[in-house]
Amino acid sequence: MAPIIDFENFPGNIVNNEFLPTSTTRHSINPSTGEPLYEVPVATKDDLDASVVHAQVAFKTWSRTSFAERSALLLKFADAIEANRREIERLDTLESGKTISLSGVELTMTIAWLRTFATMEIKDELLDENDERTIYSTFPPIGVCAAIVPWNWPVLLGLGKVGPALITGNCIIVKPSPYTPYCDLKLGEIGMSIFPPGVFQVLSGNDDLGPWITEHPSIGMVSFTGSIPTGKRVATSCAKTLKRYVLELGGNDAAIICDDVEIDKCLPKITQLSFLHSGQICMDVKRLYIHEKIYEQFRDAMVDYVRKNLQTGNPLEEGTFIGPVQNGIQFELVKDMYAQIEKQGWKAALEGKVRETSKGFFVEPAIIDNPPEDSRIVTEEPFGPIVPLLKWSAEDDVIERANALETGLGASVWSKDLGRAERLARQLSAGSVWINSHFDTAPNVPFGGHKQSGAGMEWGVEGLKHYTNSRSLWVWKKVFE
């Protein structure tokens, strides 16, 4: 039977399958209302040390369980999440500000991801064999891993690390963002009745918890998702103990739209993927390169589409597409980007608006009409509902511009001519490149970034192998004297 969870009380961190209360607590803010949400624990360094010891003890037996046993528990966990999904979706919207329908998408993906990870056995690979010896690659788990999670997608990005770590035989400690601790704590609570003690733990804390984790000598691997500057700090800190790490960092994805597209068919998808979660997703479309032959027509249709379909408002209400920006600091950054429209003299095809009188962090979408290529709206990841439209005519030029930045998370090409689209796609430096789509991900497909958008890949066999060591096993068939 699925565990019964109280979604309004957070009695402690999830340590060794028990609630570990802390002497101080804190709360996050509901970005739609500015009101405080529930009190949550604040982990101390001792709490982290204790969790690591529990994980080390648990690893001794968990790492020896069979794939079938681990798979069965992961499936049970997915079922228990599914049984509680409506409450988790609501909590996700309350803390992250994403619309309730998008929270539904996040939960659907998470459950599917866990069920797929449960089928992904990393088997030995036969490298060479002759009469005298056999050589394999084998993939033992690392030990105690940690997941450091951002605020924009706390459920999928948290469990997208937990699933691979557990199925490969590791124990994991999850650290949610202080802005969004709630769903991850409840997911840990659901896991308490499923996994053995110490296998899956969740610590909510303050800004010092992340650095304690990356410095901890007994944590063997950190999977981090967040911004590029923090990713660099994580890598520097992990280097002190030569910890393994995977970094999933910021993006500034280009979509290249060719002159042969049927605008009415591709425009809704491109526009929605530009403003999904109010522009606060790493692989939202953030720069639209539109062929000059269709530029004006596309621009006008996009403005019309946003006005008619992408309403800003309460994310709990069906029909809202643009919820609030998630937190006060991000709100100030987005406001500053909107202020640049006038300061820099950018032409706005859609002006957008900051809702100054609301207690929540609401901003209406803006579309900037062909700004200079070196303007901030093109070169920076705004993480708000504001995108630039840019004109192109020559293929070589648009590829150079799309590849010009330090980021390389995702990119897309839109064209009826698949040969042309693939020729362009293969020149794009990004971890995921889509033709006539953007944003697609799957649990069995590696996801990550080129250049400063990341290091290593998450998901897929490649992603799961990051939670293992590579061990070459040489088996000589005779004992030589």
Which residues are the active-site residues?
248
**Using the rule CB under 6 A, which residue among 86, 233, 359, 451 binds ligand NAD?**
233
Where does 398-459 show beta strands of DSSP type E? 407-408, 410-414, 432-435, 447-448, 450-451, 454-455, 457-458
**Using the rule CB under 6 A, which residue among 226, 279, 384, 385 binds ligand NAD?**
226
Cβ proximity to ligand NAD: between 91 and 409 the closer is 409
User: Kind of pairing, strands 447-448 and 457-458?
Assistant: antiparallel
Told to check if 178 binds ligand NAD by CB under 6 A, we report yes
Cβ proximity to ligand NAD: between 322 and 409 the closer is 409
Cβ proximity to ligand NAD: between 173 and 258 the closer is 173
Sheet holding 432-435, edge to edge: 348-350, 366-369, 386-392, 285-291, 253-257, 410-414, 432-435
Nearest partner of 310 among 355, 342, 269, judged by Cα: 269
Least Å distance, CB 214 to ligand NAD, is 5
**Using the rule CB under 6 A, which residue among 32, 223, 225, 468 binds ligand NAD?**
225
Q: If 0-12 CB within 10 Å is exposed, 13-18 middle and 19+ buried, where does residue 72 land?
A: middle
Least Å distance, CB 203 to ligand NAD, is 11
Q: Are 414 and 258 contacting, i.e. CB atoms less than 8 angstroms apart?
A: yes
Question: How far lies 41's CA from each of 152, 181, 225, in Å?
Answer: 20, 9, 22
Told to check if 414 binds ligand NAD by CB under 6 A, we report no
Q: Are 90 and 33 contacting, i.e. CB atoms less than 8 angstroms apart?
A: no
Q: Cα separation of 356 and 343, whole Å?
A: 19
Residue range at the interface with ligand NAD (CB under 6 A); choices 143-151, 317-325, 344-352, 413-421? 143-151
Nearest partner of 183 among 248, 86, 118, judged by Cα: 86
**Using the rule CB under 6 A, which residue among 270, 282, 377, 428 binds ligand NAD?**
282
**Using the rule CB under 6 A, which residue among 116, 230, 379, 444 binds ligand NAD?**
230
Least Å distance, CB 478 to ligand NAD, is 49
Comparing every residue's Cβ against ligand NAD, the nearest one is: 210
> H or E element: which one contains 106?
helix 100-117
What string marks each residue from 242 to 281 as x (binds ligand NAD by CB under 6 A) or -? ------xxxx------------------------------
Length of the chain: 481
Angle separating helix axes 67-83 and 182-192, nearest 10 degrees: 120
Q: Cα separation of 203 and 44, whole Å?
A: 9
Q: Cα separation of 258 and 281, whole Å?
A: 24
**Using the rule CB under 6 A, which residue among 152, 170, 412, 452 binds ligand NAD?**
152
Q: Cα separation of 133 and 371, whole Å?
A: 64
Residue range at the interface with ligand NAD (CB under 6 A); choices 9-17, 61-69, 111-119, 147-155? 147-155
What string marks each residue from 433 to 472 as x (binds ligand NAD by CB under 6 A) or -? ----------------x----x------------------
Q: Cα separation of 239 and 220, whole Å?
A: 11
Identify the bridge partners of residue 256 per DSSP, sorted by sequence position. 289, 413
Least Å distance, CB 442 to ligand NAD, is 14
Least Å distance, CB 76 to ligand NAD, is 27
Least Å distance, CB 175 to ligand NAD, is 6
Nearest partner of 51 among 135, 226, 174, judged by Cα: 174
Told to check if 13 binds ligand NAD by CB under 6 A, we report no
Q: Cα separation of 81 and 422, whole Å?
A: 39
Cβ proximity to ligand NAD: between 141 and 205 the closer is 205
Q: Cα separation of 438 and 284, whole Å?
A: 8
Least Å distance, CB 233 to ligand NAD, is 4
Identify the bridge partners of residue 395 per DSSP, sorted by sequence position. none
Told to check if 227 binds ligand NAD by CB under 6 A, we report yes
Residue range at the interface with ligand NAD (CB under 6 A); choices 44-52, 103-111, 209-217, 269-277? 209-217
Q: Are 365 and 303 contacting, i.e. CB atoms less than 8 angstroms apart?
A: no
**Using the rule CB under 6 A, which residue among 55, 73, 146, 234 binds ligand NAD?**
234
Told to check if 430 binds ligand NAD by CB under 6 A, we report no
**Using the rule CB under 6 A, which residue among 14, 94, 107, 149 binds ligand NAD?**
149
Least Å distance, CB 226 to ligand NAD, is 3
What string marks each residue from 96 to 135 as x (binds ligand NAD by CB under 6 A) or -? ----------------------------------------
Residue range at the interface with ligand NAD (CB under 6 A); choices 9-17, 221-229, 268-276, 294-302? 221-229
Joined together, the tokens standing for residue 340 give: 């640049």
**Using the rule CB under 6 A, which residue among 12, 97, 143, 150 binds ligand NAD?**
150
Q: Cα separation of 176 and 148, whole Å?
A: 6
Greatest CA span in the chain, whole angstroms?
85
Q: Which one-letter amino acid corresponds to residue 390? A: L
Told to check if 408 binds ligand NAD by CB under 6 A, we report no
**Residues interacting with ligand NAD, by CB under 6 A?**
148-153, 157, 175, 177-178, 210-211, 214, 225-227, 230, 233-234, 248-251, 282, 381, 383, 409, 449, 454
